[in-house]
Amino acid sequence: MLDTGSLPALPRAERSEVLDTWLAGLLDEAVAGTPPPRPRRGGPPPRTGTDGVALVAVGSLGRREPPPHGDLDLVLVHEGRPEIAALADAIWYPIWDAGLRLDHSVRTVSEAVGVASTDVKAGLGLLDVRFVAGDAGLAAALRTATLGSWRQSASRLLPQLRDLRRGRARQVGELAFLLEPDLKEAYGGLREGQVLRAVAAAQLADEPTAEAEQAYALLLDVRDELRRRAGRPSDVLVRQEQRPIAVALGLPDEDALLREVSLAGRRLGFVADETWRRVEAALVRRPRGRYRRVRREPLAEGVVRQGDEVVLARDARPAADPGLVLRGAAAAAREDLLLSPYTLKVLAVHSPPVPEPWPAELRWSFLRLLASGRAAVAVLEQLDQEGLLSRLLPEWDRIRSLPQRHPWHRFTVDRHLVEAAAAAAELTRDVDRPDLLLVGALLHDIGKGWPGDHSEVGEPIAARIATRMGFAEADVATLAAMVRHHLLLPDTATRRDIDDPATIDRVAATIGCDPALLQLLHALAQADGAATSSSAWSPWKAHLVAALVARVQARLGGAPAPEPEPVLHPGQPQVSREAPADAAGGIAVGVEDVADGQQVTIVGPDRHGLFSQLAGVLALNQLDVRAAKVNVVGDRATAVFAVRPRFGRAPVASILADAVRAALEGTLPLAERLRQREADYRQDAVRATPPRISWHNGEVTGDATGIVEVRAGDRAGLLYRLTAALATEGLDVTSARIETLGADAADHFYVCNPSGEPIGSEQRSRVEAALSAAARGAVPDPVAGRGNSPG
């Protein structure tokens, strides 16, 4: 008789061996105790002994992973033995008598294969079939037939299996982010490890990696210890069992246990996501005929789009290009794609250390990645799983999968920060410094990886990171203050009387009477709350915080916000490449190499729509404009643009001069060419958030009669579209300040009517409609021929 009381205490391998030996004995006893059938007249002699019958294990016992107090999944396979029912009873009843749970069936090979080919759950279980006792040849035949049927039915069964797992994920949640996770059924749990093997058995993916197998083994260890302590079948890691299980597994405390479980779940979930993408691509029915070559589309210097993922360009040099990781990640997120697994591996192996402080180009790419919003979450997870994120931010390791015990929190600390940055990307148009908002959102809880108050501890950590990123000293101080005071507004709004002047004075004194910091803290509070849960950021709480901010703003008196770090270089540039002015067109173009790209200076005759045409020429030459200034003296206009080539090719002054001349002469159809280029290269799509257009007439200086501000998603040719819209509505641009921070453009245009008349409300409405349409991609044809009015 089996000693079932001692089974839970045994290691998995020994438990399997004990059960196998016992079950083999049961089959032998059943065969010996069952009288053979009477032979048929003229027929073959009846089979005796274990000839033509085999006992096989499936499920956890088939995988040699039987958990304490688990079920025995057994199949009695036969080849037409007439006495098979009596044999089965002689095996099953002793198992029940021993108090074990049993899931059993009696099948021929053809019957088993038939069930497996129509029932995805049965097919998944039979993939783990393992011989226990009896006819080994029959068991081998069952395994061979099952694998063949699984591969043949993969196109039908795997989509069902995918839908089952996604349905369970919606019901149970993700293992990595649950405080009391279901170790088996939560997404990223034990079931994912079994599914990965099943997909590999269908020959549609590689075998699970060593890291995935290690994660799976850890979850098995935790579940075994959980069931030993519970004394019953249980897969939910409840709070009260976490500390003793941690001690039994040699971990310091329950948080360390939950962190290890989270890391394992994230690894299995990450590999499962990638595997399902491969499966879905493999199962797509291709049209008959010649195989079509996958198109490669350039996205940024060193990376291209190939199919539905981003890969390295043929001329990419990862070992010599420290900015390639973030440039590729930003390009992928901007296109709502992922980096290919092979590209990730190459970058992980060959990428050199990042220079400190970060070059401006690298910081720019990081901001573009964060500003991509929801699309950045999956890309950042890719960088994290390959260890690339920790290379950029070594402090990240301290918060990876760190649990948050507060019931409001849906995520671990690191994922919460990524989610906060994604939420902040939707608020960048509400602040003057979207770059600081994005980085502040990513770092606001960084102090939770160290002992002490995380706001106080996180302040110097954030300052060190911001300094390493290359931010200016004033910006470093602002980011540190954002981390230190990120709870100031929500805590004050919900715990103090916001109508009390002392409360308002206290908040103003805490932030140093800095309106820009107040603005950033307000947006950060919204992003932090949205990334936490609906309970943490309710409409009531949002209203209280907004009311508090309004009172503090009134107390501060609306002091002007500090300007971002300038992009255009002051003074007269020393031109290194120049196209001299020609007598006919009067066009001169100079190109100066600077640390973060090039500065292009264009001098030419002033005319209506000139600024728009210059912006269109730069966009057509694949130059991203970061900042611009235009000044008009007499009948000559000078425009200065800070640009960065989208694909790494520096602008050529003579080519730009020829293009400007052709645009002014009307022989270069800018609108048509830009539309075609966008169609050819699938340029950046604008986020669904509508543009924000506002007027600041109280700040008008010089010849302008109005200042119009446009906040919109950045895309190739946006500056051309906006200025073309202004020209079409009859406005001249006397000067402009163009800033692109992350994925958003914040453009300020100083405009006037050529007649000198004020801009009325009706004209303002038309201008707003035209700018909104332009931000969405419409390209108006600017009116030409208005003489020498500024443009």
Question: What value does the mean pLDDT take over residues 632-657?
Answer: 84
Give 780's pLDDT tier (boundaries 50, 70, 90): low
Looking at the fold, whether 606 and 692 belong to one and the same domain comes out as yes
Looking at the fold, whether 361 and 344 belong to one and the same domain comes out as yes
Q: Of 39, 44, 41, which is closest to residue 83 (Cα–Cα)? A: 39
Tell me the CATH number at 416. Answer: 1.10.3210
Which of 152, 183, 218 is at the close of a domain? 152
Question: What value does the mean pLDDT take over residues 119-128?
Answer: 88
d(CA 31, CA 503): 86
Domain contains 785: no
φ/ψ of 188, rounded to 5, equals: 95, 5
d(CA 643, CA 641): 6
DSSP, collapsed to helix, strand or coil, labels residue 304 as: strand
Chain segment 36-95, per-residue pLDDT in tens: 666 555 555 555 567 889 999 999 999 999 999 989 999 999 987 888 999 999 999 999
Looking at the fold, whether 655 and 771 belong to one and the same domain comes out as yes
Q: CA 498 → CA 110, 536, 541, distances in Å?
A: 76, 19, 12
Domain contains 197: yes
Domain contains 788: no
What sign does the CA torsion over 140, 142, 143, 149 have?
A: positive
Looking at the fold, whether 598 and 713 belong to one and the same domain comes out as yes
Tell me the CATH number at 191. Answer: 1.20.120.330
Q: What is the DSSP letter of 731?
A: -
Looking at the fold, whether 11 and 25 belong to one and the same domain comes out as yes
Give 784's pLDDT tier (boundaries 50, 70, 90): very low
Domain contains 567: no
d(CA 54, CA 131): 7
Locate 777 and state its tokens: 């991609």
Which of 283, 308, 336 is at the close of a domain? 283
Q: CA 285 → CA 199, 297, 308, 681, distances in Å?
A: 18, 23, 16, 26
Range of the domain at 354: 300-392
Whole-number pLDDT of residue 779: 60
Whole-number pLDDT of residue 581: 57
Whole-number pLDDT of residue 785: 38
Looking at the fold, whether 656 and 548 belong to one and the same domain comes out as no
End-to-end CA distance of the chain: 96
Best mean pLDDT range from 51-65, 271-285, 696-710: 51-65
Looking at the fold, whether 600 and 737 belong to one and the same domain comes out as yes
**Radius of gyration of the chain from Cα atoms?**
34
515 prior amide bond cis, ω within 30: no
Chain segment 425-452, per-residue pLDDT in tens: 999 989 999 999 999 999 999 999 999 9
Locate 557 and state its tokens: 């008196």
Domain contains 590: yes
Looking at the fold, whether 434 and 540 belong to one and the same domain comes out as yes
Whole-number pLDDT of residue 438: 97
Looking at the fold, whether 622 and 752 belong to one and the same domain comes out as yes
Whole-number pLDDT of residue 789: 38
Question: What value does the mean pLDDT take over residues 763-771?
Answer: 92
d(CA 299, CA 594): 23
**Percent above pLDDT 90 for the chain:** 53
φ/ψ of 240, rounded to 5, equals: -70, -15
Q: What is the DSSP letter of 395?
A: G
Looking at the fold, whether 544 and 522 belong to one and the same domain comes out as yes
Question: What value does the mean pLDDT take over residues 487-491?
Answer: 93
Question: What value does the mean pLDDT take over residues 403-422?
Answer: 91
For residue 759, pLDDT beyond 70: yes
Whole-number pLDDT of residue 225: 95
Which of 392, 417, 451 is at the close of a domain? 392
Domain contains 571: no
DSSP, collapsed to helix, strand or coil, labels residue 3 as: coil
Structurally, how many domains does the chain consist of?
A: 5
Domain contains 623: yes
Contact 172, 289 (CB under 8 A): no
Strands 303-306 and 309-312: antiparallel
Q: What is the DSSP letter of 689?
A: S
Give 577's pLDDT tier (boundaries 50, 70, 90): low
Query: What does the buried/exposed string (b/e) look like for 185-222 if buried means 16 or more CB atoms within 10 Å of the residue's CB?
Result: bbbbbbbbbbbbbbbebbebbeebeeebbebbebbbbb
Domain contains 202: yes
Side-chain-side CA neighbours of 386 within 13 Å: the count stands at 22
Average of per-residue pLDDT values in the chain: 86
Chain segment 332-351, per-residue pLDDT in tens: 999 999 999 999 999 999 99
Looking at the fold, whether 770 and 624 belong to one and the same domain comes out as yes
Looking at the fold, whether 760 and 646 belong to one and the same domain comes out as yes
Chain segment 365-374, per-residue pLDDT in tens: 999 999 999 9
Q: Which of 357-361, 519-523, 558-562, 766-770 has the lowest mean pLDDT?
A: 558-562
Locate 206 and state its tokens: 């590689």
d(CA 430, CA 717): 23
Torsion of CA 656, 661, 665, 669, to 10 degrees: 0
Chain segment 578-597, per-residue pLDDT in tens: 656 554 458 899 998 876 67
